């Protein structure tokens, strides 16, 4: 049985106003690299869900510290440390008590510091988990990223290409040796 138009409009309005609907995702993350000091990334995480946020995972490359809200603990993969692995990783900020989490409608700031100066930035995914077990992935967040294979070795490839071109030009311009004339049948006494 079809719904009356008034009820249908009311249901649509409620769906749009519900946290996590298509027009309003469960979480908003704004920010990224600081233009005045590219060694820092600062994000504001805003909770639009009905349960507190208790887990946030940021991808990183060459980061060594994260300032999270009070009461949050951290877990790292490939943290930039002396003798550490130079590879992409992640940092997870978690809170055991949901009361210390990011409450519905609230925001919190997370600041990531890179161990070594400037880095590349890309758009990446940040994973957020709520106290009710819901997990949400926020796509398109500006995060520090490792250079690609091509970006890492572009100078080596460029110099190799220049060297190969120089060798080919040199070989092509060098005068060719003529083959000696074949001796005549009478022993060269012509």
**Is 174 part of a structural domain of the chain?**
no
Within a domain: residue 20?
A: yes
Rounded distance between C-alpha atoms, residue 144 and residue 88, angstroms: 9
Please list, in sequence order, all residues whose beta carbon lies within 8 angstroms of the beta carbon of residue 105, skipping any fewer than 6 positions away: 47, 48
Whether 71 is in a domain gets the answer yes
Residue 137, domain extent: 5-146
Question: Does residue 172 form part of some domain?
Answer: no
Please tell me the distance from the alpha carbon of residue 19 to that of residue 115, in angstroms, as a whole number.
37
- From the list 106, 114, 107, 62, the residue with the least C-alpha distance to 88 is 62
Instruction: Evaluate whether residue 128 is within a structural domain.
Output: yes
Looking at the 3D structure of the chain, how many domains does it have? Answer: 1
Residue 87 lies in a domain: yes
Per-residue pLDDT tens over the stretch 42-84: 999 999 999 999 999 999 998 999 999 999 999 999 888 777 7
pTM of the entire structure?
A: 0.69
**Which residues touch 70 (CB under 8 Å, ≥6 apart)?**
100
Answer whether residue 81 is part of any domain. Answer: yes
CATH number at residue 142: 2.60.40.1170
Q: What's the confidence (pLDDT) of residue 84?
A: 72
pLDDT of residue 178: 67
What is the pLDDT, as a whole number, of residue 8? 36
Consecutive H or E run containing 116 = none
pLDDT in tens, 83-123: 777 889 999 999 999 999 999 999 999 999 998 765 789 99
């Amino acid at each position: 049985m079809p719904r009356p138009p008034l009820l249908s409009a009311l249901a649509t309005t409620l769906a749009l106003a519900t946290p996590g609907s298509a027009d309003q995702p469960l979480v908003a993350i704004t920010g990224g690299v600081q233009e005045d000091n590219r060694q820092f990334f600062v994000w504001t995480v805003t909770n639009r869900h009905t349960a507190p946020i208790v887990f946030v995972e940021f991808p990183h490359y060459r980061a060594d510290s994260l300032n999270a809200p009070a009461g949050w603990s951290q877990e790292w993969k490939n943290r930039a440390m002396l003798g550490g692995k130079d590879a992409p990783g992640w940092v997870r900020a978690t809170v055991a008590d949901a009361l210390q989490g990011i409450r519905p409608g609230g925001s919190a700031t997370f600041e990531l510091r890179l161990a070594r100066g400037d880095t590349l930035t890309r758009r990446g995914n940040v994973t957020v988990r709520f106290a009710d077990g819901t997990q949400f992935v926020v796509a398109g967040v500006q995060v520090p990223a490792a250079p690609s294979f091509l970006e890492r070795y572009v100078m080596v490839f460029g110099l190799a290409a220049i060297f190969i071109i120089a060798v080919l030009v040199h070989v092509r311009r060098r005068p060719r040796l003529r083959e000696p004339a074949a001796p005549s049948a009478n022993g060269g006494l012509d």
